[in-house]
Amino acid sequence: MVRKTALVVDDFAVVRNTIRGIIEPKGIDVIEAENGRRGLELLKEMPKLPDMIFVDLNMPEMDGLQFCEHLYGEIKVPIIMVTTEIKEELKSKAKLYGVKCWVMKPITPDRIMKAVELVVRG
Amino acid sequence: MKHEQLDPIAHVFKVLAKPSRIEVLRELLLGPRTVGELESLCSISPASLAQTINVLKQDGVLGVKSVQNLEFVEIIDERVRSAVRSFFPELDLAQGIPTEVLNQDSVPQRSAKPAPSGSDTLMRILTALNDSDQTD
């Protein structure tokens, strides 16, 4: 498989490290952001868009939905929402903003890799 | 014609004088890539790839940008890009393929306009964010 790149946006370093630990050995390099605003800045810095974005829903400064709203219609990168929320209205809103997968915490390798396979398969 | 005028052309051929360089440049025709991506795409060893990138960077053919722990590589010499592209015309076809089509069949589109390039758009977003910060 061609090596890929993911942006991981989460305010908890332990979550970012966990996702990195799962996907890096599978051939996906990781760039990390601690909130949505930093994520947008990194997307601008990156000469090439990532192949996928993992984003937490609840974050200070700019949350996951606001982050997705900023990107919606502007760039086409599959977004995977990682969260503890189960509210259908949030899922509907996320879908409206282009979120492709909804992964429930606690994070497990199976859940993360299933989402990766979904977005890679298209 | 003076030889000095032909030097830039000679430079292009000098750059293309090794198959490993052509292989790397071919993979970069469609846009920037990370070093990791190039490692998985090219047949040369990671050590040879690093050396090739370094040589091409010193020759002013490649630009390398680090973002956190990742290095992104892209062609910055347009003469070399044109020369390599002329050998691989099939890659021009791939340039029009969108990155990804999201599964949003049931969602009405907000705008029919084509999406602008990522960096231009994000620059606009960040400018708007900074402006809103100043007004808060």
Beta bridge partners of B72: B34, B65
On whether any CB of chain A is under 8 Å from the CB of B67, the answer is: yes
H helix or E strand, kind and range, residue B99: none
- Out of A29, A40, A122, closest to residue B36 by CB: A29
Domain that holds residue A29: 4-121
Q: What is the pLDDT of residue B92?
A: 64
**Cα B54 to the center of its chain, rounded Å:** 16
Q: H/E/C letters for each residue in A35-59?
A: CHHHHHHHHHHCCCCCCEEEEECCC
Q: How many domains does chain A have?
A: 1
Phi, psi of A46 (to 5 degrees): -70, 125
Question: Is the peptide bond between A106 and the residue preceding it cis, with omega within 30 degrees of 0?
Answer: yes
Cβ–Cβ gap B122/A1 under 8 Å: no
Question: Is the peptide bond between B89 and the residue preceding it cis, with omega within 30 degrees of 0?
Answer: no
Parse chain B into domains and list their residue ranges: 3-97
Nearest Cα of chain B lies from the Cα of A108 at a distance, in angstroms, of 24
Q: What is the pLDDT of residue B86?
A: 92
A122 to chain B: which residues are within 8 Å by CB?
Answer: 100-101
Q: Model confidence at B133, in pLDDT bands (50, 70, 90)? A: low
The one-letter amino acid code at A112 reads I
Stretch B118-136: mean pLDDT: 51
Q: What is the pLDDT of residue A17?
A: 96
Report the residue of chain B nearest A79, measured CA to CA: B102
The tokens for B126 are 């960040």
pLDDT higher at B13 or B111: B13
Q: What is the pLDDT of residue B113?
A: 40
Angle between helices B3-15 and B78-87 (to 10 degrees): 60
B111 to chain A: which residues are within 8 Å by CB?
Answer: 73
Q: Model confidence at B126, in pLDDT bands (50, 70, 90)? A: low
Question: Which listed CATH number (1.10.10.10, 3.90.180.10, 2.60.320.10, 3.90.1150.10) goes with B3-97?
Answer: 1.10.10.10
CB B125 within 8 A of CB A74: yes
B21-58 pLDDT, tens digit each? 999 999 999 899 999 999 999 999 999 999 999 999 99
A31-67 pLDDT, tens digit each? 999 999 999 999 999 999 999 999 999 998 889 999 9
Left (φ > 0), alpha (ψ -120 to 50) or beta: where does B31 sit? left
A63-118 pLDDT, tens digit each? 999 999 999 888 889 999 999 888 888 888 898 888 999 999 899 999 999 999 99
Domain of residue A26, CATH code: 3.40.50.2300
Stretch A5-25: mean pLDDT: 96
The tokens for B76 are 């910055």
The tokens for B34 are 């990370």
Report the residue of chain A nearest B121, measured CA to CA: A74
CB B93 within 8 A of CB B49: no
H helix or E strand, kind and range, residue B128: helix B118-135
- Of the spans A105-109, B48-52, B98-102, B132-136, which averages the highest pLDDT? B48-52
The one-letter amino acid code at A21 reads G
Q: What is the pLDDT of residue A40?
A: 94
pTM: 0.76
